[in-house]
Structures are given as structure tokens and as C-alpha cells.
Chain A
Amino acid sequence: EVQLLESGGGLVQPGGSLRLSCTASGFTFSTYAMSWVRQAPGKGLEWVSSINAGGTNIKYPDSVKGRFTISRDDSKNTLYLQMNSLGAEDTAVYYCARDRGFGWYFDLWGRGTLVTVSS
């Protein structure tokens, strides 16, 4: 079955760090760009980061640039998001998504993992 499964979410204190993982199955992970998209409680979708196939091109919005790092391990079919200096504004469900064309559209989504930043 073609699917994405996120993990690593949880409760973290302000200023803390967390690493999210997204394990892919059912397709050739290494040939696809991948992205993270988040959704704060009761709010809309916000693009967080993208990495192309091969990992040579990476993008972030200003809201997370310098704090978040996206990476991938094609040998493990896994996408990562390292999140540092977390603040309350980063509280959200984080979705992993398969990215067609590197930013063109997202055709496969995981179920998401909840990150809560609170003291």
C-alpha cells in the first residue's frame, strides 16, 4: 500500500527541539520530492519545508528558516524535520506529503503528527 506515516510529535517546552520522521512505503521514495505542511489547531494549512529528490534543493518559508531543517535518508525511505527554538506558534499537526514537481502539488499525505509547544 502506498502510504506515509509520521512520528515523533509530542509535547515540548518553549525553546526546545523535536525531530519528526516520515516513513514512506509502496513507492520509490528516492525519486520523489517531499514536503512538510502544518496546520495549527482550527487554522489553515501552512507549507513548512520541501526537499527535492536527491536532497540538493531545499526550501523554507521565513517563518521557520534558520530553526527547522529538512532532510531525507533514501536508504531508510524516511523524511525528517528537525525543529529547534520552538515557540507556541509552532503548535500544529505536521503532515508529510509527497511533492510532485517540487512545489507543484502534493498528491499523497500522511495522517499527521501533533506537536504541542507549551510549558
Chain B
Amino acid sequence: QSALTQPASVSGSPGQSITISCTGTSSDVGNYNLVSWYQQHPGKAPKLIISEVSKRPSGISYRFSGSKSDNTASLTISGVQGEDEADYYCCSYAGSTTHVVFGGGTKLTVL
């Protein structure tokens, strides 16, 4: 069982917006603005798409955005495209003892 809870799957039609939630606790997501999101296509390495809750690294599409409220972080993909079909993982810093926790991952299907 992963420390952060994500839905196992989400789906959307091209052009729609989808949101993936990531629920943690007051010891991780709720206590630090250090939630990151990763996109992973089959057989490929994960790729950073959001850091520090809502920052987009250079080269990442503006269609990806992140936010956080209390113990839940969210990743929104606006105008979903076929190339967005992948697994998405959230991750949070969790303090000096636990250090880092990942979510279980969400499979995005573009209909």
C-alpha cells in the first residue's frame, strides 16, 4: 500500500480536462509545498512534469498544472491529447525521517 493515495485510473476524451488527485497526510502533502508529479510512458523512465506543487519545468506543456489543498494535491491536464496517455505518479517530501513517499500511480486513458 502506497503512502499517497491516487485513483487507479482516469479517462477522458481528446480536448477534455482531467484531474488526478493525490491524498496524503499532514506529515507529507499537508506539511510541505514539495509535491511533484511524474509522467511515465510504457517501458520508459519517469519524467518530471510538476515540481513544488505547481512549477512546470522547462519544456513541459502549459496544459499540465498542479495545485494543493490541505492534504490533497492535484494534477490537471487541460485539453487532453493522445500523447498524454501514460501513468502518472505523485510524490511528496515527508520530513527528515520518512524522507520521500510516492503515490501508487494513476493510468490515464485517452478515449
Contacts and interface: CB of A to CB of B under 8 A. Distances in A.
Q: Does A associate with B in a complex?
A: yes
Interface of B: 2, 34, 36, 38, 40, 45-48, 51-52, 57, 89, 91, 93-94, 98-105
Interface in A22-57: 35, 37, 44-47, 50
Q: Is the interface of B mostly helix, strand, loop or mixed?
A: strand
Nearest to A109: B45
A47 B47 contact: no
B102 A47 contact: yes
Interface residues of A, number: 22
Contacts of B94: 103
Interface of A: 35, 37, 44-47, 50, 59, 61, 95, 100-101, 103-112
Given A44-B102, A50-B99, A105 B36 contact: yes
B105 A45 contact: yes
B46 A95 contact: yes
A34 B110 CA distance: 34
A56 to B, nearest CB: 14
Contacts of A108: 48
A44 B99 contact: no
A5 to B, nearest CB: 11
Contact of A44 (B51, B100, B105): B105
A59 to B, nearest CB: 4
A112 B43 CA distance: 10
- Smallest CB-CB A-B distances: 9 pairs: A105-B36, A44-B105, A47-B100, A105-B51, A109-B45, A59-B99, A45-B102, A103-B93, A44-B104
A8 to B, nearest CB: 17
B45 A112 contact: yes
B99 A105 contact: no
A100 B89 CA distance: 17
